[in-house]
Amino acid sequence: MVNKSIGIIDSGIGGLSIWREIVKELPKESTIYLADSKNCPYGSKSSEEIYQLSKKLVTFLAQKKVKLIVLACNTITVSCLSKLRIEFPKIPIIGTVPVIKTASEITKNNKIGVLSTVRTAKSKYQKKLIQTFAGGARVLNIGTDKLVPIIENEETNMIKINKILNEELKPFLDFKIDTLALGCSHFPFLKKKMQKILGKKILILDSSAAIARQIERVLKNNKTLSVYNSRSYVLLTTGDLEKFKKLSKKLLGKKFKNVAIKSISL
């Protein structure tokens, strides 16, 4: 029997925040991570553009015969999860699980912040979920397209980074949230810096653990959980290979060895 991989897509490198959780929680699974670095960021594109780009990524992974696809990108999820599920009915597709549900269970003062890309913030999808989950909680959803380039372009100017973060996070402090849900898979890589600005009392949550649990549930249901101890990790980028190699090593640290990193054109 062949050990089929889990496919993971994102507009860029940010989805590695979800990939590392999948690798940690499901250590027997092989993964193919596909980053559309060439077209990143997606947050400022139209829904139709995002759909056309995502379709290419999913088609590529479908040809690789992956057993499940994770959209490790909130922007793709809110723009076209249902369309992709219709287009590729044979592959289970999991979107980012909004952390709003967890946030609404954890909040003590009933004030939740959600930070995402502009496209995600504008989507009706997110709003509907907020209403379903957050019940009586008050939610401040802010969309920004300034943070993804900090990660993707490996911004090192700390004054610039802190200035942007201070500006983007200030409304949450003014609103007096006690819980911040990260609605973009790039943002966990800025979590430490955000925590410094927000202070220790504000809890910052991201979706990665919930996504890993959901993958496990779906694979169990479909009886496709891997039973093998041998696994492979492949990271693919549509952008500059050397840049991607350097950045992924920096973001993941030395922890993840034996990862093959290649560039592809779609």
- CA dihedral sign, ordered 251, 33, 38, 95: negative
CB of residue 10 vs ligand DGL: minimum separation in angstroms?
Answer: 5
Please identify, using beta-carbon distances, which residue of 104 and 185 lies nearer to ligand DGL.
Answer: 185
Contact 183, 120 (CB under 8 A): yes
Nearer to ligand DGL by Cβ, of 16 and 226: the residue is 16
In sequence order, the 6+-apart residues with CB closer than 8 A to the CB of 247 are: 13, 151, 152, 154
User: Known catalytic residue: 40?
Assistant: no
Annotated catalytic residue 184:
yes
Contact 147, 184 (CB under 8 A): yes
Chain residue at closest Cβ approach to ligand DGL: 43
Q: How far is the CB of 244 from ligand DGL (least distance, A)?
A: 15
In the complex, the residues that contact ligand DGL under the rule CB under 6 A are 10-12, 14, 40-43, 73-75, 117, 120, 148, 184-186
Q: Quick one: 11 or 226, whose CB is closer to ligand DGL?
A: 11
Q: Which residue has the tokens 């019940």?
A: 135
CB of 17 to ligand DGL, least distance (A): 9
Residue among 184, 203, 218, 252 flagged as catalytic: 184
**Which of 32, 73, 150, 204 is flagged as catalytic?**
73
Q: Nearest distance from residue 253's CB to ligand DGL, in Å? A: 20
- CB of 42 or CB of 233, closer to ligand DGL: 42
Least spacing, CB of residue 86 vs ligand DGL, in Å? 21
Q: Which is nearer to ligand DGL, 54 or 117 (CB)?
A: 117
Catalytic residues: 73, 184
